[in-house]
Amino acid sequence: MKVNLCLKCQEKAVYHRKYSGENLCPNCFNNSLIEKTRKTISKYKMINYGDKVAIGVSGGKDSLALLDILIKIKEYKDFELIAITIDEGIANYREEAIEIALNAASKAGVKQVVLSFKELFNFGLDEALMNRKEKKITSCAICGPLRRRAIEIGAKKVGANIIATGHNLDDILQSFMINLFSGDVYRIKAGDPRKEAKKEFMIRRIKPFMEIYETEIAFYSFLNELRFQTLECPHMNEGIRTEIRNSLDNFENKHAGIKLSLIKSMFEICENIKLNPKQLQSCNICGYNSSSNPCSTCKTVEYISELTRSSSLENR
């Protein structure tokens, strides 16, 4: 049997990068991922000297790989890193993830803050879903904005000026397609992962894996024996995102590199859409910029709090 050799060092290759044709050994594969991440960070000026970066560490493979790679990049670039972990209150699921996240942060020597939905919003996710009357509001639609807000609160608490999350190329393309299919071009622009924080926002959100395939992050985690949670969220919503994910994977299998072309198109579209004029208002309750007032997070908190209150009255 023919053994493939690494394109860069002639060692035995373990990875074939289909879209470029490269065969890579473990060491060169690892370096290529670190280098890609470093390039994305520098191309979009995501992290500067002296920045304080709050990284959302959920215990899943993407956030743990990001933590691992940012620590390696930190050796050459001077910035501070703090891990933020959110306990959404999902029984028999979050406990393990939090334990994994705590271990990873302490092993990396990174300070960590754990915040729970319960302490921030007065209810956990399980409780919120139990009280939800209309099932058409999906669990992810409730959890997503709340987790985003929780990480923001955590970042402010530790004085960070940047929030880094492990969103990869696949995540970004799925959201892009969801917005495209729902006719919401303003959201495509709002979700541009390259955009810098507006002056009034203080905190910039960055996605250093935005140009990296999910499969490559999974392979990096495997090669580096990163321990991560494999259990799927019990509330995982089998909505259109799963269908889009499967279709995009099919396209990529037949036409290697098509995801990289798609993100180029997304960037091009972002540049040619005007900002939603409504986006410029700020929420009366929390002060965050939003296209509606109150913002969708404050509306969600209010909606769930109301349901939780009325159900505890009924149970009296």
Output the smallest distance, CB 109 to Zn ion, in A: 29
* Omega before residue 294 within 30° of 0, cis: yes
Compare residues 5 and 258 and give the one whose CB is closer to Zn ion. 5
Output the smallest distance, CB 52 to Zn ion, in A: 24
Output the smallest distance, CB 61 to Zn ion, in A: 23
Output the smallest distance, CB 136 to Zn ion, in A: 22
At 113, give phi and psi (nearest 5°): -120, 130
Residues 52 and 58 sit within 8 Å (Cβ to Cβ): no
**What's the CA gap between 163 and 205, in Å, rounded?**
5
Output the smallest distance, CB 26 to Zn ion, in A: 8
Compare residues 256 and 285 and give the one whose CB is closer to Zn ion. 285
Compare residues 4 and 269 and give the one whose CB is closer to Zn ion. 4
Q: DSSP 3-state assignment of 84?
A: strand
Residues 248 and 170 sit within 8 Å (Cβ to Cβ): yes
Q: Given the rule CB under 5 A, which residues bind Zn ion?
A: 6, 8-9, 11, 25, 28, 283, 285-286, 294-295, 298
Residues 195 and 153 sit within 8 Å (Cβ to Cβ): no
Output the smallest distance, CB 163 to Zn ion, in A: 17
**What's the CA gap between 60 and 228, in Å, rounded?**
5
Closest CA to 168 of 62, 311, 19, 38: 62
Compare residues 28 and 164 and give the one whose CB is closer to Zn ion. 28
Compare residues 8 and 195 and give the one whose CB is closer to Zn ion. 8
Compare residues 28 and 86 and give the one whose CB is closer to Zn ion. 28
- Give, for 112, the enclosing helix (H) or strand (E): strand 111-116
Concatenating the DSSP letter of every residue in 122-191 gives SS-HHHHHHH---TTS-HHHHHHHHHHHHHHHHHHHTT-SEEE----HHHHHHHHHHHHHTT-HHHHHHT
Compare residues 25 and 47 and give the one whose CB is closer to Zn ion. 25
Q: Amino acid letter at 258?
A: I
Cα–chain-centroid distance for residue 183? 23
Output the smallest distance, CB 56 to Zn ion, in A: 20
Compare residues 138 and 296 and give the one whose CB is closer to Zn ion. 296
Output the smallest distance, CB 286 to Zn ion, in A: 3
Tokens encoding 198 = 């507006």
Residues 214 and 171 sit within 8 Å (Cβ to Cβ): yes
